[in-house]
């Protein structure tokens, strides 16, 4: 049994890619996309026809609607290769606009349903801002399930649990990046690996809090930099992993055992916690890493969305 097969015994494996031709090799249950991954995919020759066909059919509509058609087209193709769910992201430029986020999320879901895809097979990805979390709470009440992304802080995770969102995506690798950059020359890679990795520690804290307090929201570690971060989170509800790291796991026969355990978490002394808007904003502001990485992530996704729009207009 290779490490990927062993991991699947303890955790749902999700592919983090817009390149659906890669999915068959790793047989993930679910798949996630984001603007950067879709931008990368449409620049490959084999995916150019999808972009051209979408613009031929919907290019006369407003660009935002054409974008949603393109994202749903990719999502539908991905769903042909997996048994589970695909995550499709709302425009990051709407991250601080609850009403606009709701409108786009509902439209994306309606486009999927028009293609015969049920709500149970789609997660709407929304940035974990206060506005995004409140929009997700409303969508969940309507039966539209959400994946709260760009999640870097415990405060974001607590608020998402309160909102009863379906799933959160804490970003392991970007947390690791921030702490490594802050440490500079004093960073000790070996000492900060595995369970000591700051990104891994963040996900473990969230996972244990959810399991201790019976919060049903699924925890899906995301944004990995190395296999060690993945194996240190074996036992997490889900892990979304890029194809290159999936290949490394599939090529290794090193032993793997679960590091996270829901039953063990229930016996831990972890106090309950809840936030109102002011408390949430202060807690997020008090976390320099999370504040910086959330803002940086929204900007980066917005930039790639603009680039994708430019390609759409050229096609």
Residue 47, domain CATH? 3.20.20.70
List, in sequence order, every residue forming a beta bridge with 171; answer none if it has no partner. Answer: 222
237: Cβ–Cβ under 8 A, 6 or more apart, which residues? 11, 12, 167, 207, 218, 219, 220
Q: Which candidate in 40, 98, 125, 307 is catalytic?
A: 125
Active-site annotation holds for 80: no
Which residue carries 């802050």 as its tokens?
182
Tens of pLDDT along the chain (315 residues)? 999 999 999 999 999 999 998 898 999 999 999 989 999 999 999 998 999 999 999 988 799 999 999 999 999 999 999 999 999 999 999 999 999 999 999 999 999 999 999 999 999 999 999 999 999 999 999 999 999 999 999 999 999 999 999 999 999 999 999 999 999 999 999 999 999 999 999 999 999 999 999 999 999 999 999 999 999 999 999 999 999 999 999 999 999 999 999 999 999 999 999 999 999 999 999 999 999 999 999 999 999 999 999 999 998
What's the number of domains the chain is made of?
A: 1
Both tokens of 109, joined, read 């879901």
Query: Would you say 68 and 109 are in contact if contact means Cβ atoms under 8 Å apart?
Result: no
Give the domain extent around 246: 3-314
pLDDT of residue 236: 98
């Amino acid at each position: 049994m290779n490490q990927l097969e062993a991991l699947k015994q303890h955790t749902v494996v999700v592919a983090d890619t817009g390149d659906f031709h890669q999915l068959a090799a790793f047989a993930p249950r679910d798949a996630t996309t984001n603007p950067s991954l879709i931008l990368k995919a449409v620049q490959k020759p084999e995916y150019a026809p999808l972009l051209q066909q979408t613009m031929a059919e919907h290019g006369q509509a407003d660009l935002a609607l054409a974008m949603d058609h393109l994202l749903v087209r990719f999502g539908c193709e991905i769903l042909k290769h997996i048994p589970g769910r695909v995550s499709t992201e709302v425009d990051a430029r709407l991250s601080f606009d609850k009403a606009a986020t709701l409108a786009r999320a509902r439209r994306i879901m309606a486009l999927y349903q028009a293609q015969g895809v049920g709500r149970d097979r789609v997660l709407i990805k929304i940035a974990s801002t206060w506005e995004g979390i409140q929009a997700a709470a409303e969508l969940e009440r309507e039966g539209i399930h959400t994946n709260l992304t760009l999640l870097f802080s415990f405060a974001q995770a607590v608020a998402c649990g309160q909102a009863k969102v379906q799933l959160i995506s804490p970003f392991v690798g970007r947390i690791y990046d921030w702490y490594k950059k802050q440490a500079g020359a004093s960073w000790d890679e070996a000492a900060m690996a595995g369970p000591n990795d700051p990104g891994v520690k963040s996900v473990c804290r969230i996972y244990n809090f959810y399991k201790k307090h019976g919060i049903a929201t699924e925890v899906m570690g995301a944004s990995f930099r190395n296999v060690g971060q993945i194996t240190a989170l074996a036992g997490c509800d889900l892990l979304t992993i890029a194809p290159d790291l999936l290949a490394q796991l599939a090529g290794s026969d090193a032993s793997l055992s679960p590091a996270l355990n829901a039953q063990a978490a229930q016996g831990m002394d972890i106090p309950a916690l809840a936030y109102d808007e002011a408390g949430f904003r202060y807690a997020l502001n008090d976390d320099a890493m999370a504040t910086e990485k959330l803002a940086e992530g929204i900007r980066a996704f917005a930039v790639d969305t603009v680039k994708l729009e430019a390609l759409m207009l050229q096609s």
